[in-house]
A and B are shown apart, each in its own frame.
Chain A
Amino acid sequence: MVRARGMGMRRLRDALVGAAGLAISALLLAALLLVLAYVFYGAALRFEPEMLLTMGNTTSGGLLNAIVGTWLLSGLALAISALLAIFVAIDIAQYAGARVGSLLRATVDTMAAIPAMVYGLFGFLVFVIYLGMGYSLLAGSLTLSLMMIPYLARSTETAMGNVPKELVAAAYALGASRWQVISRVLLRFGRPLIISGALLTVSIGAGETAQLLYTAGWNPGLPTWFTHSQVGYLTYVVWAGINQPTPYPQGLAFVASALLVGMILVLLLISKWLEGREVRRA
């Protein structure tokens, strides 16, 4: 390790690496702040009240339909994926043996690594075309939920693993069935962390685009039904608006970005606050 080199040279290199590393870290933080500041400042410059109060079509009008659409899509996707992910987590935690457990874990890890656009393509082929839903809330939410399952399954598994073993043993000792232990002990005491994971998952889902381009479509108004009625969403406004040559659509794109980033940061903060409170209690 210690080469026969002058001590002065080695001290100098040490100082240089430390200084360069810290400078790069500071530069990265500056870049992060720059992205955030640029988005919020750009949005503030271009903001008009009607952007939040009226519906629009990415070139004129407002964002109300897109805001509602983003919540509808990520809310429904959360409901669908939570339903499936909770059972995956319960199976891993309480029922599965080594082989089924590793199959389920591998599935979750693999789903987390599939590119967003591949989900988009699959959702388009299966939900939109083969199942005939058309561009719609249901097709978009189903596609989005595929991408959410791994996040939820992982956080629910962690939440249930965090429940003290003594509680589980005590419940079994009192004669509780396995299902009673799951529903009354694991899910109840794991709830704060499960909710924290769900908020994190929604914050990621709300920022996704590629899954929705060819499954949700775009609607200048609100969807009228789950299928065959297109939905608008905020990330689409960012993509479509910023490529327009005129200032107003670009303003919409900036305001939509700021809304998205703001929403995501708030959800993340609540999620981390819940998580921190749980960890302190444990």
Chain B
Amino acid sequence: MRSDGLLIRIASMIPVFFLVSIFIFLLYESIPSIFYNGWNFFTSYRWNPGITYQEPVPGPFGFRASPGASFGALLFLFGTAATSALALAIVVPVTLITTIALAMHTPRPMSRAVGASMQLFAAIPSVVYGLWGIVFLEPLLLKYVFPWTEATLGFIPWFRGPATSGSGLVASSLVLALMVLPITSAIVLDSFRSLQSRFQAPILSLGATRTEAGIAILGFARRQVVGAVFLGLGRALGETMAVLMTCGGAINVMPVDIYSPINTMAAALAALLDSAFIDASGMTLSALAELGLFLMIISLASSAAGRALAGRIVLRGEAW
């Protein structure tokens, strides 16, 4: 390789170096917390930096933390899982039915326009969704939706209420669903269209209705559909601001019903990094690094699975 190639190779390896260093750095920072908290990190929901104005005391394996410190992230893990699951429970059926309707029941120019407009969802910043969630969605939920769910589904303990705030699982998941939808629908619609020209006419000529043909073609594209769901999940797991603003910021109290405040890993990181400054032992920072490391691992795993199934990631704004 000549010298110009060598210089370019050096420059192009800098992002690789950054990526590796993010992983190594977070791992290095997490080590005290990994040893101090052990499995407690995943099984306890008590997040307590301890008495930070007292001298740090040695804990398990000799790592020092403030007296009484304990860092359990179960509440945040649960919140991330619950918001992402509920968001996907909305996104998946909506994606499938709109794909069939747009590709099979709508004239091509109109469906293109609708598909492109849906991609605009991806361009709206996370904080703007958060603002909309706070001033529009939460009052709407509290005033109209939650009284109705309490009345009709109240026989199930999770729905009994009474709801005192619009923020929490439902608001966060709805906002997340709007943010994930452009990704999944772009991938699914795209792979549907790439198969449509080949299979539509033969299937219809067998006497299938348009919907049945759509379902069959989605069946041929199931790899991409599953991949799209994983890619959407990867995005939902890591979403920060919109969830931070609508989740209610729960800490040390596990949610008891769908109206309770919750918290997610990403939102907790944003909310709690402040508290690392007052903990001179550094254990809070280490525990937050462990939280960040775990968040990174699960969202990268989900995205990698999606990429393996659906092809390369569709980045925000790239789909139209």
Contact = CB atoms under 8 A, between A and B. Distances in A.
Interface string B84-99: 0000000000100111
A125 B234 CA distance: 24
A21 B123 contact: no
Contacts of B4: 177-179
B240 A13 contact: no
Interface of A is mostly: helix
Interface string A172-216: 000001110000000000000000000010011011111001100
B211 A25 contact: no
Contacts of A11: 209
B234 A35 contact: no
Nearest to B296: A118
A39 B128 contact: yes
B248 to A, nearest CB: 12
Contacts of B211: 13-14, 17-18
Contacts of B21: 126
Given A2-B207, A125-B29, A88 B12 contact: yes
Contacts of A149: 15, 18
Interface stretch (A61-69, A161-169, A219-227, A256-264): A256-264
B234 A209 contact: no
A84 B124 CA distance: 26
A279 interface: no
Interface stretch (B47-55, B57-65, B299-307): B299-307
A13 B315 contact: no
B252 to A, nearest CB: 20
B8 A28 contact: no
Nearest to B136: A38
Contacts of B11: 83-84, 87-88, 91
Interface string B113-128: 0100110110111111
A14 B209 contact: yes
Contacts of B9: 91, 95, 100
B100 interface: yes
Nearest to A254: B131
A24 B101 contact: yes
A134 interface: no
A233 B316 CA distance: 22
B307 A210 contact: no
Contacts, number: 276
A124 B26 CA distance: 11
Interface string A215-240: 00000000000000000000100110
Given A38-B132, A88-B15, A114 B210 contact: no
B245 interface: yes
A146 B25 CA distance: 15
B128 A28 contact: no
A264 B120 CA distance: 10
Interface band, chain A: 35 or more
Contacts of A242: 130-131, 134-135, 245
Nearest to A85: B15
A13 B123 CA distance: 35
Nearest to A12: B209
Given A111-B15, A210-B126, A35 B132 contact: yes
Contacts of A250: 135
Interface stretch (B141-149, B150-158, B190-198, B266-274): B266-274
B241 interface: yes
Nearest to B4: A179
Contacts of A2: 206-208, 212
9 contacts: A2-B206, A22-B105, A25-B114, A29-B117, A32-B120, A36-B124, A126-B21, A208-B125, A268-B123
Given A25-B102, A87-B14, 9 more contacts: A2-B208, A24-B94, A25-B98, A105-B312, A110-B303, A115-B240, A179-B4, A209-B240, A210-B240
Interface of B: 1-2, 4-5, 8-9, 11-12, 14-16, 18-19, 21-22, 25-26, 29, 94, 97-102, 104-106, 114, 117-118, 120-121, 123-132, 134-136, 178, 181, 203, 206-212, 214, 216, 234, 237-241, 244-245, 266, 269-270, 273, 285, 288-289, 292, 295-296, 299-300, 303-304, 307, 312-313, 315-318, 320
The 3 A-B residue pairs with the shortest CB-CB distance, nearest first, are A21-B101, A115-B238, A207-B125
Interface of A: 1-2, 10-11, 13-14, 17-18, 20-22, 24-25, 28-29, 31-32, 34-36, 38-39, 42, 83-85, 87-88, 90-92, 95-96, 100, 103-105, 107-122, 124-126, 146, 149-151, 153-155, 177-179, 200, 203-204, 206-210, 213-214, 235, 238-239, 242-243, 250, 253-254, 257, 260-261, 264-265, 268, 272
